Amino acid sequence: MKTSSMKSAHRFVAVLLLGAALPALAEPMVTPQQVTVCAACHGADGKAVQPIYPHLAGQYANYLAQALKEYRAGTRKNPIMTAQATSLTDEDIEQLAAYFSAQPGPLYTPNVHGK
């Protein structure tokens, strides 16, 4: 009896783990359609084409999403970015942020003790 309940507990945990792993497997990184628009300034790989534009590659996804939401809301003011962001849905923003965050790039956290 005890063994059987242990077994079912194990099975339960295994199913939980599988459930957690599956979404990651089921949703491979797709290149969002809007990337081509972003690419004109930020580069298709998230490395900016001019130094006045920020690199997006490797930046934290939720920071990128926050930036797009601020542009969309008009609280962060930039004529180019506001025009791009107004038509984006929350889902678009999440996808774009995830895409650029996943690209390898030059960004890093500065070291406070560094010289």
- CA 88 and chain centroid, separation: 15
User: Exposed, middle or buried: residue 21 (CB in 10 Å: 0-12, 13-18, 19+)?
Assistant: exposed
- Asked if 25 touches another protein (CB under 8 A), the answer is no
Length of the chain: 115
- Asked if 59 touches another protein (CB under 8 A), the answer is yes
Minimum distance from residue 109 beta carbon to another protein (Å): 4
The contacts of residue 38 (CB under 8 Å, 6+ apart) are 56, 84, 96, 100
Minimum distance from residue 60 beta carbon to another protein (Å): 4
- Asked if 8 touches another protein (CB under 8 A), the answer is no
Residues 32-51 that bind another protein (CB under 8 A): 48, 51
- Asked if 76 touches another protein (CB under 8 A), the answer is yes
- Token pair of 85 as six digits: 């962001």
Minimum distance from residue 5 beta carbon to another protein (Å): 40
The residues that touch another protein, with contacts defined as CB under 8 A, are 48, 51-55, 58-60, 62-63, 65-66, 70, 75-78, 105-112, 114-115
